[in-house]
Amino acid sequence: MRLVLAYALFAGLWILLSDKVLGWLFSDPAQLILASTMKGWLFVGVTSLLLFGFIRRRLDQALAVSLREVEAQTGKARALQLLDAIAESSTDAIFAKDVDDRFLVFNGAAARVTGKRPEEVLGRDEMAVFPAELATQLIADNRRVMAENRVISFEETLVTPEGQRTHLTTKGPMHDAAGNVIGMFGISRDITARKQAEMVLRQSIGELERFNRVAVGRELEMIGLKQQVNALSRQLGQEPPYALDFAEPPEPGTKE
């Protein structure tokens, strides 16, 4: 519209002013016709140059915008390739879901944990991966993360091709440029070996405490028997055979 208005203004001023100038300069009809013809060709030449300059400028601008978009898309593609390489190289299960709880990302580790190929899972929810009861709980956890818009960690017992395994899963919301929640991500690590080690440690501590209680009880019994022997020795006028000053009650009238 700006181009059309500029052209209309330029053409109107050209016709109005050029005709007046020619009328002042030429009185002979033949010369006036020739001058009018030259004026028309000059108008065509000037407008053609202006149009060429305008189109060239617009093309340069469009080319610059296109190059920036190509660079941006190339950068995004490289970033996505890098993220995909990281996800596929990770031994932790990595996944992402949309607001409808459908899988968008499902890396190789997640596939190994669940025994499901990515193409079997992408676009579907946990019902396609886990038993109904477990899937319902996992979906509820996902919705909680998105509703509360914060990162939460869950300890989950999952059914895998290797049997039941304990996973520590960190889930967090994903946002668009405006900060709106558009889904969630999850990173799940197998901590079964750690949980088993913790159980063994708790059992060992329990056994040690029981042994300590038994040992302390026996030691107290031995002290009691030795005290009885010392008392009998004193009654017989003999020196007590066991030094138990630490266990003997203080004599009346003495300070501890």
pLDDT of residue 135: 92
pLDDT of residue 30: 76
pLDDT in tens, the chain (256 residues): 776 777 677 777 777 777 777 667 777 777 767 777 787 777 778 778 877 888 888 888 888 888 888 877 777 767 777 777 888 888 899 999 999 999 999 999 999 989 999 999 999 999 988 889 999 999 999 999 999 999 999 999 887 887 888 999 999 999 998 999 999 999 999 998 888 888 888 888 888 888 777 777 788 778 888 888 888 888 878 888 878 776 665 555 545 4
Give the count of domains, the chain. Answer: 3
Same domain membership, residue 148 and residue 58: no
Residue 256 lies in a domain: no
Same domain membership, residue 215 and residue 130: no
- Residues with Cβ < 8 Å from 69, sequence gap 6 or more? none
Residue 254 lies in a domain: no
pLDDT of residue 171: 96
**CATH classification of the domain holding 155:** 3.30.450.20
Same domain membership, residue 197 and residue 185: no
Residue 108 lies in a domain: yes
> What's the domain range around 55?
2-80
Q: Per the confidence metrics, is the pTM higher than 0.75?
A: no
Residue 33 lies in a domain: yes
